[in-house]
Amino acid sequence: MNNEPKLPAHPIFTPATIGALVALACISSAILGATHYLVQDTLERRGQEHIRALTLEMLPDAVTHKVFTAHLPSYGDTTIPQPIYAGYDASGTLVGVAIEASDRGGYGGEIRVIYGYLPEEQRITGVKILRENETPDIGGRIRTDPDFLARFDGLDMPLEPRSMRPRHPVRYVAPETNGGPGEIEGLSGATVSARAVVRAVRVSTNRVLPVVHDMLDDLKKGDE
């Protein structure tokens, strides 16, 4: 008796079947790609709208904003692009700028913030948390504790005339130490996270503010 399995009379994968499967795979790939693009586009637009709202919130009297690109010096002749969000009042006069900054030294990884800055007054108007992955009841208090972020409100940031870098760089100090110029008191129980926020602002103000002042004429004219 022959127990060998019988082969189907006609092949299962005919050229027409293979062509249909390839077409189906291409269509599925296109749908997935389009869906990914739409999701990413929606997230980016929401992120831009959020930043716009924060820019206007941190810059008093600003009613509109424009996005500029600063080019921060890097190694050799290379530069690093940095978005600058400029806010303008109803007459089109520059009020100030909002600048993103980040530090990877948070307890849960990267902490990203945005701060407002008034070039004419050389003053920080405030800091907002854009993204953090800290433990809610511990490091997450950098977002929810009303006193911590309030310590940045109205922080004087006088610049050295030649370098245009802060005369008193932003610096972390222990809680309840009545910090001096540029010093930000920390947050008990959330030292690592609070230090990361302060460090992000310090590094950014040292690197970005000189470039902001260098492009101040373009910012005032609104030329992107």
Q: List, for residues 110-164, the tens digit of each pLDDT value.
A: 999 999 999 999 999 999 999 999 988 889 999 999 899 999 999 999 999 999 9
Total-model pTM = 0.79
Is residue 55, in this structure, part of any structural domain at all?
yes
pLDDT higher at 119 or 10: 119
Task: List the domain range (segments joined by +) for residue 164.
Answer: 48-221
Higher-confidence residue: 166 or 8?
166
Task: Kindly state whether residue 35 falls inside one of the protein's structural domains.
Answer: no
**Residue 45 confidence (pLDDT):** 52
pLDDT at 48: 77
Look at residue 22 and tell me if it is in a domain. no
Number of separate domains in the chain? 1
| Single-letter code of the amino acid located at 184 | I
What gap in Å lies between CA 211 and CA 72, rounded to an integer? 7
Is residue 95 within 8 Å of 59, Cβ to Cβ? yes
In a domain, 183, yes or no: yes
The pLDDT of residue 177 is 85
Q: Residues 27-48: pLDDT tens digits?
A: 766 676 555 443 443 334 556 7
Using CA atoms, how far apart are residues 103 and 115, in angstroms rounded to an integer? 14
**According to the model, what pLDDT value does residue 69 have?**
96
Q: Is 176 left (phi over 0), alpha (psi -120 to 50) or beta?
A: left
**Residue 203: inside a domain, yes or no?**
yes
Calculate mean pLDDT across residues 183-193: 93
Residue 92 inside a domain? The answer is yes
pLDDT at residue 36 in the model = 43
pLDDT digits (tens, 9 = 90+) for 56-112: 999 989 999 999 999 998 888 899 999 999 999 999 999 999 999 999 999 899 999
Q: Shortest CA distance to 83 belongs to which of 62, 63, 112?
A: 112
Q: Report which residue type is found at 155.
A: L
Top-confidence range, 7-21, 27-41, 56-70, 175-189:
56-70
